Structure 1
Amino acid sequence: MDNFFTLLLILALISIWYFIRKKPNKKYKNVSIIVAIISFFVVGLINQSNGDDKASSKGIKTEKTSSKNSKQSSDKKRESSSKKKSSNKQKESSSKKKPSNKQKESSSKNKNLDEVKLGMTKDEVIKKFGKPSYQTSRNLLYGKKNIYLVDGKVTGGNYDALQKQVDKKNTKKKKEAKKDRIKNDKKKYLAALYALPEQTDYVIQDAQYSEQTGVTFVVSDDALSLTPAELKSAVHKIWNIGQNLSNKYSPLPGDMKSTYITVEDSSGNDLAVTSMWGSFKYKAN
């Protein structure tokens, strides 16, 4: 039956082609299309029913084989479970064995690696904390903890206790370096300040520094013969020299009043000072 409708479908398709291309005939073409559609659906239904029959027969066979496989797998599971029980008993008995004195000693030493100090020698570390799992001239490895060596001495490590020591040491070094730099800058500043009279051809007759009053410039008496406008301009330039010198060597020690500048004449009269806002304030009017 299946072959008949398959053949009918093929003939109908050929007829469609024939009545379209070779001998056009609209009526026969439509009949051929209808026959092709019916044949196509009939062939599909027949194939579906045959497939269901095959699937049912396969299902019966698979049920039989699965029942056999389930019996075999259950037997295997029983055997494996009995083997696992016996192996677990052996593991429990082995785990109950007490560690040797050497193992206890090495584990306790490894736990105290936080007590390693910077500057300790390689021999001191090994003597106090036991033999490492791996060592070179630059490393001592205890498990995951790595101790760094330079010239046979501890300089750091890859764990928190040693890293904190390194950070603390670096912070201390930075503070000391900053203090030294500030001290040196203070010396350079004072040397430059005291050299100003000679550098200005003694227009600045004297330059002094005091922790109480800050910087004091004494203007030469020749400058007092200038016009008021010229004198103010000259005094302002002198004040700027002091301000620029302070900025050049900043930061200076916090107790230095280098930014407070007084410009006076040889009699001690103030010509200009630094205002409370840090600006130039002329007082010779």
Structure 2
Amino acid sequence: MFTFFIALVCIVFFFLFMIGLFLTIKSAFKFFVTKSVTKKQLLSSVIGTFLFLLIFGVTAVPTFGNSSDNTKKVSKKSDGYDFKSIKLGMTQKEVSDKLGKPSSQNDRAITYGNNTLYFADGKLTGGSPKFIQQQVNQKNSNDKQKKADDSNSEKSAAQYFGSKSTQKLADQASYVPRTQISNGNMMYSETISNVKMYRIDDYQTGVTTVYKADESKDDGLGAILYQGKTVTQEKPKTTIVY
């Protein structure tokens, strides 16, 4: 019923518009032909112009003025989902419980309208919605910072291990395993903060190198974490007598 009413109004407006346009053109034509205007022609021209401007104002002007607003409303409506309640690591079921039935779905992605959410191993890892992208960016930033912190922690631990004197390592032989390798150098192993490290003292150069353990390598030696002069004896403690 409402649709029929709208259609009827549109038809009425269209005919009024055409009548106004016709009367305006007719009056203008007679004026240019006869170079004079009668009262009837003037009234016809006024009515025609009034109808033309009225219908144009009611239909065209609001449409032009609100075109951007309408676009925004459509855009907001097309989103229509509260992605702020969605967190990385959620399962597809947890997402659908929050947002409802998706537009499409498979093992790796689900879509809601124009928005796509991506999954790996059953967990949400990213997506096109702005709020999801912000979470991904924050996670990447946190991971990068954690990696830098871990690297600094490993280097500090390696420096501590590499700066120990051979004298102290000998005293700690019960829990710091050591092995004499084929070239005569000594290798020690120790795990600090859950990071396994190997220390090799090169007697020819007098240099100590600490490596991060890497079981994928044939010799088990990974990245170099510390390198410095081999310390053979502990520095004597200074005693101050007053």
Same fold (TM over 0.5): no
Q: Based on CA coordinates, which of the two structures has the bigger radius of gyration?
A: 1
TM-score (norm 2): 0.37
Higher strand share: 2
TM-score (norm 1): 0.32
